Amino acid sequence: MFRELLPYLEEWFKEADLRGYSIPEDYGACPDARLQERINQTVEEFTRLMKGCYPFHQPDYAGQMLKPPHPVAWLGAVMAMSVNTNNHALDGGPPTSEMEKEVIRDLSGMTGFPKTALGHLTSGGTVANLEALWVARSLHPDKEIFYSADAHYTHSRMCEVLGARHRKISLDASEPDFSRNLEEDLQGAGTLVVTLGTTGRGKIEPLHTILPVCKKLGVRVHVDAAYGGFFTLLKKSGLMNAAPWHKLGEADSIVIDPHKHGLQPYGCGCVLFRDASVGRFYKHDSPYTYFSSEDLHLGEITLECSRAGAAAAALWFTIRCLGLGSDSVFARMLADCIEAARIFAAKIDKTPGLKLLESPETDIVCYYPDAPTIHEISGKSRAVFQDLMQQGTHSLFVSLYKMETSEFQRLRPEIRVDDSVSTVTILRSVLMKPSHKGFAGEMVTRINASLQHIA
């Protein structure tokens, strides 16, 4: 589809020339022949180097969270990059700033936040979570920030950066007396981070059970939905437990990464605040920046300064073309990913020599080679991981997941545990491409063949 979009680029570049957006002539100060020769050589070298990439766009790749951007996102990004707008001050990118404000309203509506919610795009989920935690600390400077053991490592790192006190607690609703224990655990908390779509195991933490407890105690709730946020489009589909998603709009802040399931190029993250008054923490002055308009400049509500307008243009273009509802292209693609994970998990569960850790809640599946001890499980998992990548045209790219031995034993108490070993390494696959739905069986076949090969 990329090639089919090239005529649109041709038309855009004609328009860009008319508007004065063409590259200045002095950028080609060296003689044309020499410049062209250098371009040819550089393209040749670039092509050679890029052969080192794994097949990220193909179903053979199910390792890290790498999802191909949709071609329409690429088109929007390329057209905007040719102008190189900066969405910090309005005069740095008036059109792309308005596009960003529009997509923030779109994403707010998707999550259940009001139209008055405050938000902006970021370079990714790490910075988005940093800003959410910064606001959390600013609101409650003397209280702690809590998060679960499954939360992304971003939270502990960013709390360290902010100098905020922080602590891990359990958010496993299957535990007896969960709500009562949570109430005791949250003493001294100012903000609790709840993850909808943990990046390790794809878990959906029980927001619907947690929120009433937090409201009772006056604890703010920040939802890290960097990976899982777009799954809210499936809350009426019957494919997922809808209860947490119906409560998403009651959180105080939300982080979503459009460059994951939002089909965007890197980097495009997003942070949203239900109460727009937290914008006061961002308030700052600039001697030369915010003079072109009395309207809100996005730089007035971000910690980052220069930000690519192309990211906003790409997301705006994608939402306009694909929609953002429960019957949109987004939703159908996500449904395929969920179904792919379930097909894959079911086949793993029926394959001798392989064991499923737990039923997947999203499109991430964790599993391991059948062995009597965690030492053997870790060794075989690493061997399969490496062997799968060495099979030429039949290579398969998965990932490894290191988890606490205590948590592994809770899920799989029949496995013998060496008390001196604190972690176990297992296999993990991310089936975040719709093409994985028809490829899941082949994946299990290759994994099983690799297991036999290393035996």
Has residue 178 been placed in a domain?
Answer: no
pLDDT exceeds cutoff 70 at 18: yes
Q: Which helix (H) or strand (E) holds 118?
A: strand 118-122
Tokens 């089936």: give the residue.
431
Least confident of 65-69, 89-93, 406-410: 89-93
Residue 373 pLDDT: 93
- 143 is a domain residue: no
Residue 194 belongs to some domain of the structure: no
Domain count, the chain: 1
User: pLDDT at residue 29 above 80?
Assistant: no
Q: Name the helix (H) or strand (E) containing 48.
A: helix 32-50
The 10 Å CB-count burial string (b at 16+, else e) for 116-125 is ebbbbbbbbb
| CATH number where 370 lies | 3.90.1150.170
Q: Residue 302 phi/psi, 5° resolution?
A: -135, 155
Q: Is residue 318 part of a domain?
A: no
- Residue that is written with structure tokens 């680029």 in the block: 9
Alpha-carbon separation of residue 423 from 356, 357, 384, 401 (angstroms):
18, 15, 18, 10
In whole angstroms, give the CA distance from residue 92 to residue 90.
5
Which band of pLDDT confidence, cut at 50, 70 and 90, is reported for residue 13?
confident
Asked if residue 437 is part of any domain, the answer here is: yes
Q: How large is the average pLDDT for residues 404-416?
A: 91
Dump pLDDT digits (tens) for 280-302: 999 887 777 777 777 778 888 89
Range of the domain at 369: 329-454
Model pTM score = 0.94
Q: Is the pLDDT assigned to residue 309 strictly greater than 80?
A: yes
For residue 411, tell me if it sits in a domain: yes
pLDDT category at 30 given cuts 50, 70, 90 is: low
Query: Looking at the predicted structure, is the pLDDT value of residue 405 above 90?
Result: yes
Model confidence band, residue 90 (pLDDT cutoffs 50, 70, 90):
confident
In a domain, 175, yes or no: no
Distances (CA, A) of 53 to 66, 68, 138, 346: 12, 13, 42, 30
Q: What is the pLDDT of residue 364?
A: 98
Residue 3, pLDDT > 90, answer no
Mean pLDDT of 83-92: 90
Q: Is residue 80 part of a domain?
A: no
Q: Which run of H or E residues covers position 224?
A: strand 220-225
Q: Does the pLDDT value for residue 423 go beyond 90?
A: yes
Percentage of the chain surpassing pLDDT 70?
Answer: 98
- What pLDDT does residue 350 have? 97
Residue-wise pLDDT tens digits, 132-180: 999 999 999 999 999 999 999 999 999 999 999 999 999 998 888 999 9
Q: Which residues contact 3 (CB under 8 A, 6 or more apart)?
A: none
What is the model's pLDDT at position 31? Answer: 61
Residue 33 confidence (pLDDT): 72
Mean pLDDT score across all residues of the chain: 93
Supply the pLDDT for residue 144. Answer: 97
Burial 161-175 (b: 16+ CB within 10 A, else e): ebebbbeebebbeee
Q: Give 431's pLDDT tier (boundaries 50, 70, 90).
A: very high
Instruction: Please give the pLDDT value at position 28.
Output: 61
**Residue range 213-232, pLDDT digits in tens:** 999 999 999 999 999 999 99
Mean pLDDT for 28-53 is: 85
State the Cα–Cα distance between residues 70 and 118, nearest whole angstrom.
27
What pLDDT does residue 444 have? 98
Whether the Cβ atoms of residue 185 and residue 214 lie closer than 8 Å to each other: no
What is the model's pLDDT at position 32? 66
More confident residue, 205 or 1: 205
